[in-house]
Structure 1
Amino acid sequence: MEIIFFILIVVYAVFILQLFFGFNKIKDQSISKEYTPKTNFTIVVPFRNEAKNLSKLLASLSNLNYPKNFIEIIMIDDDSKDNSSAVFIKWRMKNDEIDTTLLENLRLSNSPKKDAISRAMPIAKNPWIITTDADCEVNPNWLSSIDGFIQKNSFEMIAAPVIYKTKNNWFHHFQQFEMLSLQATTIGSFGINQPFMCNGANFAYTKKMFLELDGFEDNNKIASGDDVFLLQKAIAKCSDKVGFLKAQNAIVITKPENNLFKLLMHRIRWASKTSNYNSFYPKFLASSVFFANAFIAFGLIALFFGKLDWKLFLILFLIKYSIDYLLILKANSFFNTNKIAIPFASAILYPFFATTVGVFSLFGKFTWKGRRF
């Protein structure tokens, strides 16, 4: 048994170290002094019951340092039960210099968000589509950063960074550690030419590529994955057309969850699509992460009952902890979040959390936005 645990942690360490070095291969981008805006964007925002959050997103869109006549915004109301649409309509009346459209979603599949994006696509006027979420805020230079990256490269799909805006409490910091590790994994995977993950809160692609990939065809039975499955289809067909924009000005800020049940449902929703990945690498990586965390969780229980050598467990725990912390520090050097302390509590609790999420994503169901999937 000890040999199996050792092999699990060593394999896990190899994966994480690969991502750590891959992170460095993606160069930071900045807007040049000679920059001139050229690209027209359609921003697509599906929403459901987001009246409390929409105002911040819309205010940040109002403050974009980008020509308003280069911007189109399509909002898709996914059967909201609150006054989300009224919030948007009120904002639109004060910002009539921006081309805006409000649509009602049409449910055609098991994925409301994919339906919403597909609903917007036929009427989108601009060549580039950017998706974000209703609980996000964007940087004033968000579109300028993406446009500058487009002008420098021949990409037709661009993944970009997302981070939490946290309050000063442990539960939010716990989620921030996790988000930093996910973003480091995303960036690192691009650095080693094995990209498989992105975040739909900050995801851009040409309308042309979306249509060439047949959109969400073949994966619309899966509730989530409007971002990763489209990315993986693009990688399989034309990997040279896909890139990651590592730029401070391109960071989109979103909100962490405020209670454990919602956090679990959110993560189970994310993890539920893993078994449907097409390529070997992400499945092997996901399995390695799951079993490494499961070992720590069950190892702590075994220690309590005296069924495991504490010296061996401590060595393996410290190996995992050290490389996890290195990856988080690497991500934090880019995102500049709150000062990172040594998260011993998170390191002990997270394996139980991750194992629970992994098990339920395979065998359980989840509730999201008042719906059960």
Structure 2
Amino acid sequence: MAASNLSVMLLLVFFGFIAAVYLGLVLAFIFGWNKVSEFKLEGLSSENTFSIIIPYRNESENLSLLFKSLSSLNYPSRKFEIILVNDASKDDSRQIAEAFQNDFQELNIQLIENIRKTNSPKKDAIKTAIGVSRFDYIATTDADCIVPNKWLQFFDKCISSSNSRMMGGPVGFIQQTDNRKAYFQNFEEMDFMSLQASTVGAFGIEKAFMCNAANMCYEKETFLREAGFDKDEKIASGDDVFLLQKLRKKGLEVSFIKSEQATVFTNYQKSVKSLINQRIRWAAKTTSYSSNFAKFTGVIVFLMNFSLIIFTGLAFLELIPYEFLMSIFLLKFNADFVLIYKSAKFMNRESLMRHYLWSSIVYPFFTVYVAFLSFFKGYEWKGRRFKK
């Protein structure tokens, strides 16, 4: 009996310790979020030049909206080019890209084919495009996105006002006017808000380890000098986070453009299966992070959510007091709420918080499920199968 009580006590101490570290991490991100100032775009100078690189594969239903936004960019056309990299599309994406090039001949548009060399098609596509690019800075977005008309203005202003070699920006979801979307997509957006809030928070405490290639810019010379994606090409994804962590490790300055007007908008996943595959793809690269803080964050988040599941079961079996479990859950619930609400308010998506209660209950199970899958199986993405 004494041994049993001791075991329970040790489990409770472990759970309490993980919870305390997790709460400390969330509070640090909240502090970091507040520390990152709102980015103000004053004037419309255009000092720098940009090569916009967009790999695409089977994106025929999305390219039209992307191209419409690119054609509306408020930046001198002589100071940017658009490089569209076809990654073995099997639909009519290539034909749509050709039509875009023909319709906007006043823009500098290059259409090229991806040259595959590694296990990472997207990194190959970006390196192929950089090889033919003519300008000083590389701006990236995804083929299913919409960019704001002052997108390059924000990057230009950030470059001119800082010594940043790489910049990230906010990403949101395209909202349909009829407001129809699958219920799971509210969870997807809620999860994404937590990632974005953590991203900004990490920048704020000078521990940046995440960014999103859908809204990103970096100096080409720095990319080439620091060997770009070398050593990370065996991993299919991560063209954004690996580069960010590599530059930070070299002591180079990075920035986050915290402005709602600089937001790039993307589409929701179409099914729960595609959402799970996307998250497995994101989680699979965690063990290869070069940032110790990134690894630490990943471990603590996993242990916190895994512990909640395990201790819920123990409380149900009356092996631990349920009051202890509820106290920790409520502490996590409230801390997470504050962090996510900051991101939702920033994106004018406060209405999303009505889904917070059920999302916070589902989240531990979803996160642990995805984490285990990322360790033991591959995933499917853009019609390709990637092994672990």
Give TM-score scaled by structure 2 length. 0.93
Displacement after TM superposition at 1:182 (Å): 0.6
Does 1:350 pair with 2:363? yes
SS of aligned partner of 2:62: helix
139, 143, 149: which is aligned to 2:148? 139
Q: 1:54 corresponds to which letter in structure 2?
A: L
1:296-339: CA deviations, max 9, x gaps? 22333344444442211111111111111110011122221251
Query: 1: distance between equivalents of 2:366 and 2:64?
Result: 32
Q: Which residue of 2 aligns with 1:104?
A: 113
14, 18, 22: which is aligned to 1:12? 22
Displacement after TM superposition at 1:136 (Å): 0.4
Does 1:260 pair with 2:269? no
Q: Which residue of 2 aligns with 1:312?
A: 324
User: Superposition pairs for residues 63-82 of structure 1, below 5 Å?
Assistant: 63-82=72-91
Query: 2: distance between equivalents of 1:68 and 1:22?
Result: 36
Q: Which residue of 1 aligns with 2:312?
A: 300
Q: Which residue of 2 aligns with 1:203?
A: 216
Q: 2:124 corresponds to which letter in structure 1?
A: D
SS of aligned partner of 1:219: coil
139, 150, 158: which is aligned to 1:130? 139
54, 60, 66: which is aligned to 2:63? 54
187, 211, 219: which is aligned to 2:232? 219
1:261-304: CA deviations, max 9, x gaps? 11111001001111011122111111000011112223333444
Give TM-score scaled by structure 1 length. 0.96
Query: 2: distance between equivalents of 1:124 and 1:303?
Result: 59
Gaps of 5+ in 2: 1-10
Would the aligned equivalents of 1:297 and 1:351 in 2 still touch at CA under 8 Å? yes
SS of aligned partner of 2:218: strand
User: Superposition pairs for residues 251-290 of structure 1, below 5 Å?
Assistant: 251-290=263-302
Q: 2:354 corresponds to which letter in structure 1?
A: A
Gaps of 5+ in 1: none
Q: Give the share of equivalent positions with the same residue, in percent.
A: 39
SS of aligned partner of 2:84: strand
176, 183, 191: which is aligned to 1:170? 183
SS of aligned partner of 1:88: helix
Number of aligned residue pairs: give it: 371
Determine which structure has more spread, i.e. the larger CA radius of gyration: 2
SS of aligned partner of 2:268: coil
Does 1:336 pair with 2:348? yes
Displacement after TM superposition at 1:168 (Å): 4.6
Displacement after TM superposition at 1:255 (Å): 1.0
Query: 2: distance between equivalents of 1:81 and 1:195?
Result: 37
Q: Which residue of 1 aligns with 2:102?
A: 93
1:231-261: CA deviations, max 9, x gaps? 111001133x211111122111111212111
SS of aligned partner of 2:331: helix
Would the aligned equivalents of 1:162 and 1:253 in 2 still touch at CA under 8 Å? yes
